Amino acid sequence: MTEEATKKKKPAARKKKPAARKKAAPRSNGGSSGPAGGHLVIVESPTKAKTLVRYLEPVLDGAVTVKASFGHVRDLPESGGLGVDTEKAFEPTYKILKGSAKVVSELKSAAKRKDQVWLATDLDREGEAIAWHVVYAIGLANGSVDARVRRVVFAEITPEAIAEAFRHPRDIDKPLVDAYQARRVLDRLVGYKLSPLLWKKVRRGLSAGRVQSVALRLVVDREREIQAFVPVEYWTIEVPFETQDDKQRFSSSLHSVAGEKIEIGSSDDATRHVEAIRAAGTYRVDAVRKRQQKQNPPRPFITSTLQQEAARKLSFSARKTMVIAQQLYEGVELGPEGQIGLITYMRTDSVHLAPSAVEEIRELIKTRYGETYLPEKARSFRSKKGAQEAHEAIRPTHAARHPDDVARYLEPDQQRLYRLIWERTIACQMNEAMFDQTSVDIGAPDQNGHLLRATGRVMLFDGFLVVYREGRDDEEDEAEGRLPDLAEGQMLDLVDIIPAQHFTQPPPRFTEASLVKALEENGIGRPSTYAATLSTLVDREYITVDQRRIFPTDTGMVVTDLLVEHFPQIVDLKFTADMEEELDEIARGHKDWPEVLRTFYDPFERLLEKKEKEITRDDLIKETTDELCPKCGGPMLVKLGRYGKFLSCANYPDCKGTRQVDGKERPEPQEVPGEKCDECGAPMLLRHGRYGEFLGCSRYPDCKFVRSKTIGGKCPKCGEGKLSQRRTKRGKPFYGCTRYPECDYALWTRPMDDPCPKCGGTMMPDEEKGGVCLSCGHAQATEPATTGAPTSE
């Protein structure tokens, strides 16, 4: 069913018969076309239609019918061929989408009866394409567009924005539609031409894509860096001191020797420096440097930064962030206020804020936080090159609508995302945070000139931090403490000298947030497509996501290696970024889209024909080994299956002997009592993957929910979650609560497998007591376990 809402103007009351005055026509969710004459307004979704209709009565004269297209109504054919005539200027053949025929019929019927048809789809490239497809699908265009059709765009669903949009309609933006067609046809050519080759040469069900394959290459390249990384030993020397008069303690570290920074690479070197510092005997403050440091507020959200921050602070996937943002934009029922759009349009690369919005934000800051938090002038931000400055950043439609005021009307995830957007928007117009940064040099008057340095940072004014602190990809605490009030020449007492061994760490694996950031920095794709790109990589089983870290699968690595070796242009970062710029030039009306595609396609087609003959399946996925088949004694080969690489007998199909790559038999998945899938409620199975044990839904592949295996009992801090192994940005393992980020409890030491028999809490191994509960303190003797962590008796 389509979403329809109809309103009529109330005519003036007759003097003699006031009771005969007409009432406004009721809003309808049915499929009727509404009254004859008047206006038909077409949007993408029923929710948007419901929000929009309440603002149209004072804007348009006559009856108003609002209908939804339910997104795209036409596209290239799903089956039966490429759908693009590569010989005829790449002319596409569009078909009505399966399931859209009834919607198109209803829109066509409604349009025939109306004096004016308004296309009010979203203001970006995709929205323009939907509007263009609709007018052709319902017969209002055949070369030229019917004169009754007008296009309106708005960045927020508010009375003011709607009135302004309908006062200034325009035609469909042909260059923007051309850019959409170029992008759609280009993606079709790459996907439809390369994917069959992957099916033949690797395995069925795989795909390649102009953006997805480059994103996958970034993940695979990072994994190879990690695999090739060789840790290097280094040492640091921490030196705590105490003031002689009031016994205030603080810490310093060895900074340089004889004026040069040093690298300590061994225990012997560290010992030599420790002995030299200790031998000095007396220690004094040589220099004190103080300076004030400003921390500027972050810029308002654009699509990519919203996805990144929601991933860091809310643990949302890019897809989830965009779904919830769409709900907030299109409108939510706010009790007596009715259906209200809470944020501006969420697909944008502009950091511009409307002057009226800035004025409202500044007034709120002054009223709620005080004038000390309000800059003398409004802050303005410069968008990156090529951004649509006519668009706005993502912000609340009304700053005065505080998250607490709407919380009772929102779903929990809607509430969290709205609060994130509100806080970031308010913070971007506030004063800087101010810090007192102190650096102290401490000299040991020895012959070697060892210089120790202590640093401290103290907040003087919280500024925008009273509202918002930006998230981080790593989980390390960078806070610096307060130093005592020290003066040059002041003598200090040595407390201790602490050498510590470290090893350099490999680069961290990508998170969704850091991968989105890398794609944006390299100009790959557009932020509005990142959510779909990451979802495709997961659906194709090219990557897995564990504790927010992205791992490539064996299949993903094989596909990437094939593309890098045989189709390097497709996965080249610069080429892909340059193509994005070409598509932007088409949108600006500066380039002809068939010419751009011709430049790419002709050499691509020739290369594809050549590689079809050259590439063999065995070259890609068969590796010889020294392993012997456990069944027939024949040699074993490394092959690629649905779940990654495995060892298979070279005598297959006569012999069907197989093993895991590590030589072990793969354990069968086992049901874990009491564990249910968070998404569908089915039992969870203990599975064994490339990176260890994990829990996966028993309904796989229909449901692909996974989570790490939990250890021990209840979380000692929140009492609700359990502990599971995670890794820091640098790959160091630790054990954190499964309810993170709501609960941030973490341990470096592995807890015991079994929960506390007294309270169900988490037990930790103890040399004297065997095991001690972190919640109730219960101690229990244990016997040494043969493998893994200690277990209670």
In the chain, pLDDT over 70 holds for what percent of residues? 87
Place of tokens 């359990």: 722
- Which residues partner with 492 through β-bridges? 243, 283
Query: By 3-state DSSP, what share of the chain in percent is helix, strand and coil, each rounded to 5?
Result: 30, 25, 45
Which member of 180, 283, 329, 345 is catalytic? 345
- pLDDT the model gives residue 618: 66
Q: What confidence tens digit (pLDDT) does each residue in 293-322 have?
A: 999 999 999 999 999 999 999 989 899 999
Angstrom distance (rounded) from CA 390 to CA 396: 17
Q: Which residues, including other chains, have CB under 8 Å from residue 333's CB and lie 6 or more apart? A: 339, 340, 409
Q: What confidence tens digit (pLDDT) does each residue in 615-638 have?
A: 877 666 667 777 888 888 888 887
Angstrom distance (rounded) from CA 534 to CA 514: 12
Angstrom distance (rounded) from CA 393 to CA 325: 13
Question: Is-catalytic flag, 345?
Answer: yes
- pLDDT the model gives residue 754: 82
315 exposed, middle or buried (CB, 10 Å; 0-12, 13-18, 19+)?
middle
The angle formed by the CA atoms of residues 570, 574 and 576, to the nearest 5 degrees, is 45
- pLDDT the model gives residue 446: 58
Angstrom distance (rounded) from CA 641 to CA 649: 14
Which of these, 576, 485, 568, 593, lies nearest to 524 by C-alpha position? 576
3-state secondary structure (DSSP) of residue 625: strand
The residue ranges of the chain whose pLDDT is under 50 are 1-32, 389, 475-479, 782-793
Q: Cβ distance 51 to 45 under 8 Å?
A: no
- Please state, as a whole number, how many other Cβ atoms lie within 10 Å of the Cβ of residue 238: 14
- pLDDT the model gives residue 46: 92
Q: Cβ distance 186 to 178 under 8 Å?
A: no
Q: Which residues, including other chains, have CB under 8 Å from residue 458's CB and lie 6 or more apart? A: 435, 436, 438, 482
- For residue 311, which amino acid is it? A
- pLDDT the model gives residue 601: 94
Place of tokens 């709120």: 364
